[in-house]
Structure 1
Amino acid sequence: MAIRAVVFDIGGVLEITGPMDFTRTWETRLGLAPGEIRGRLADMWAAGAVGGVTEAALLEATVERLGLTAAEVELMMADFWVQYLGVGNTELIGYVRQLRPRFRTGILSNSFVGAREREQAAYGLESLVDDLVYSHEVGVSKPEARIYELTCARHGVAPGELLFVDDLEVNVAAARSLGIHALQFRDNAQVIAGIEEIVSGAPG
């Protein structure tokens, strides 16, 4: 079955990101124990990943639960977004751009409320690909089967016609279990060569 669509994760693939450790700085600043910020806000962070809370509600809860001012929360969230967005993987973004019109292209991302707008402003992802599936917009996240099935449906392809690239082994394994071709991202050269091998039908 020929590949008709190629879909990419964002963080760790199209964006080069490091650890999300902004909370350590803020816990030190606020005199909190390690892990306390995430502990107090765990339900809100989880809801933000699947669209169960608005940005405004998240900010309000952070003010209340951490005893901060709105201005302090805005500063903390600015640190969050700097780490979340990382820097653009310009070589791979350029490669993705030239895949069309040979293939449909897309994004499948475990995301957080507010991510689409910020990633669009930073990297112009909406013009890069044909379709974007964000977990916070569709209410389900990787590695759940439903988000892969939704991605196939939105591209109008069968699982065997989709190639998916992600940096996490668990997400790659979940895609493969559904019959999707999947590659784990390690570096640009490796993943570009892997894509070209799969789409050409070469044995690997």
Structure 2
Amino acid sequence: MSPAGDAPRTRLPFDAVLTDLDGVIRFYDMSYVEELERAAGLPDGATAGIAFAPETDLPLMLGRIGKTEWVESIGAGLARGHGLDAARGRELGLALAESKFWADQTVVGLLQRARAYIPVSIVTNATPWLDEDLALLGLAGLVDDVVSSAVLGVAKPDRRVYETAAARVGAAVTRCLFVDDREENVSAAVALGMTGVLYRGPEDLRSALAPLWGPTPD
């Protein structure tokens, strides 16, 4: 029973927040890669186009290869697609793999606030060195759980990723808010009954989380 004079607590709109990492919390500085691309006569984004193509990226995201093998595969792709020599291709691959990154502190603050109400989990298609990256970002204690494709062995939008993430924070799949910057990942979550947010900026997250604390922030 609520204390005298207090209104009964309204049921929260969802029981857990599941959020992507890259493109929502973490962002990369690609300026050095772009500098190397220009020096090599490549268009901006050529290296990323090779690196994040499924045939190059998926083995890494599933934990089947490490950074060295990934860099080599990027170099080989640049050689095939752009005629670069092996040394230049590896240089670009390594520069991308070791790009500097940063966390959006507005998003971090919103997730910290949400965690005062319900569990928050990072659910990400990630490299095998995700834990090191989270420590470098200062995010090791930001969330209640981390679901990494490289550990799980399956990647979004496979339904097993979403089901595992929900189960690990003790929430029903249909009672989760899922946030991601890729439409196919959000669509897969919605198909399972989750509330989906296609992330384009902090206001998308702020609006989605507002029902937790009401229309007027503390």
TM-score by length of 1: 0.75
- Could you give the per-residue CA deviations for residues 79-117 of structure 1, whole angstroms, max 9, x where no partner exists? 33326x3x3111110111122231111101112232331
Partner of 1:80: 97
Partner of 2:197: 183
- Could you give the per-residue CA deviations for residues 52-94 of structure 1, whole angstroms, max 9, x where no partner exists? 112344456668886646x9846742333326x3x31111101
Partner of 2:82: none
Distance 1:200 1:161, change over 3 A: farther
Give ranges in structure 1 of 5+ residues lacking alignment: none
Could you tell me how far apart the structure 2 residues matched to 1:46 and 1:28 are?
A: 28
Three-state SS of the structure 1 residue aligned to 2:141 is helix
Pick the structure with more helix per residue. Answer: 1
Could you tell me how far apart the structure 1 residues matched to 2:32 and 2:189 are?
A: 28
Root-mean-square deviation over aligned CA pairs = 3.6
Partner of 1:8: 19
Opposite residue 124 of structure 1, the aligned amino acid is G
Partner of 1:196: 210
Distance 1:119 1:82, change over 3 A: farther
- Could you give the per-residue CA deviations for residues 107-133 of structure 1, whole angstroms, max 9, x where no partner exists? 011122323312321x22220000011
Distance 1:19 1:178, change over 3 A: farther
Could you tell me how far apart the structure 1 residues matched to 2:72 and 2:20 are?
A: 30
Identity of aligned residues (%): 25
Could you tell me how far apart the structure 2 residues matched to 1:82 and 1:114 are?
A: 14
1:141 deviation in Å? 1.1
Distance 1:148 1:20, change over 3 A: farther
Opposite residue 142 of structure 1, the aligned amino acid is K
Distance 1:42 1:131, change over 3 A: closer
Single out whichever of 57-66 and 89-98 deviates more from structure 2: 57-66
Could you tell me how far apart the structure 2 residues matched to 1:61 and 1:160 are?
A: 39
Partner of 2:125: 110
Could you tell me how far apart the structure 2 residues matched to 1:101 and 1:137 are?
A: 27
- Could you give the per-residue CA deviations for residues 126-180 of structure 1, whole angstroms, max 9, x where no partner exists? 2000001111121111111111011111111111221111112211111010011
